[in-house]
């Protein structure tokens, strides 16, 4: 199969961490938050049921978002840079589609040579002193079905699209007519194994190239 548009989830796909869980650990709420994240990624609860709740508990400030941005880069999944370089050289249009916080993901995107316009994630807002204010409550990516919405928009202007990710929310891209590759190299989720069109368990992201070029 060959695709015009190639989309990647971020957490547990491009980076080995779950950003929201790392922010939670930083304020002593790690275990509680991991349970909520897992429930959403395994499809046990709707994303919107936990999204606001998690941020209201953590209240991440600007400093913690900068810290998380560094961590995303530090914990990059093996083979990610090679994958992005290979696909860019082949003239593919690359996007990150994530339910994570956009300001924390943008520096990783820059490392991978991706323009900001090709990063779809949830904006976070701060007060003047850098403390947490709110997040973009209108973002489709803060609710279930959001990744399918973004894929639909991208498919309007292009031909074929593939979504690569590790969670139940990534499987929703199929609703938009996308092919979905489940990446189990960081976290192996049964729901993804069952629903993905293709499933990769290798720890290196390079394993997906065989299916998208």
H or E element in which residue 8 lies: strand 5-8
One of 4, 11, 170, 188 is an active-site residue; which one? 11
Strands (E), 110-213: 119-122, 124-126, 132-135, 161-165, 179-183, 198-200
One of 4, 9, 166, 188 is an active-site residue; which one? 9
Among left, alpha and beta (phi > 0; psi -120 to 50; other), residue 154 is alpha
- What's the token pair of residue 185? 């190299």
Phi, psi of 87 (to 5 degrees): -70, -40
Q: Check if 21 is active-site.
A: no
3-state secondary structure of 6: strand
Nearest residue to 205 via CA among 184, 179, 178, 176: 184
Q: Check if 134 is active-site.
A: no
Contacts of 11 (CB under 8 A, 6+ apart): 17, 18, 19, 20, 98, 100, 166
CB atoms near residue 81 (< 10 Å): 15
Instruction: Return the active site residues.
Output: 9, 11
């Amino acid at each position: 199969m060959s695709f015009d548009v190639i989309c990647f989830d971020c957490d547990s796909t491009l980076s080995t961490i779950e950003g929201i869980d790392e922010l939670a650990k930083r304020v002593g709420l790690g275990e509680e938050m991991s349970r909520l994240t897992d429930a959403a990624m395994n499809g046990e609860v709707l994303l919107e049921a936990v999204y606001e709740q998690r941020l209201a508990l953590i209240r991440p400030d600007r400093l913690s978002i900068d810290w998380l941005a560094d961590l995303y880069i530090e914990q990059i999944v093996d083979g990610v840079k090679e994958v992005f370089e290979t696909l860019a050289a082949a003239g593919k249009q690359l996007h990150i589609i994530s339910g994570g916080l956009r300001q924390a993901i943008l520096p990783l995107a820059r490392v991978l040579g991706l323009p900001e316009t090709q990063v779809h994630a949830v904006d976070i807002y701060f007060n003047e002193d850098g403390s947490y204010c709110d997040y973009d409550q209108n973002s489709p990516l803060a609710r279930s079905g959001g990744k399918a919405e973004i894929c639909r928009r991208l498919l309007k202007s292009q031909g074929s699209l593939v979504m690569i990710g590790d969670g139940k929310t990534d499987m929703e891209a199929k609703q938009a007519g996308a092919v979905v590759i489940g990446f189990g190299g960081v976290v192996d989720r049964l729901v993804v194994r069952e629903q993905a069109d293709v499933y990769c368990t290798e720890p290196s992201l390079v394993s997906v190239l065989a299916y998208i070029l």
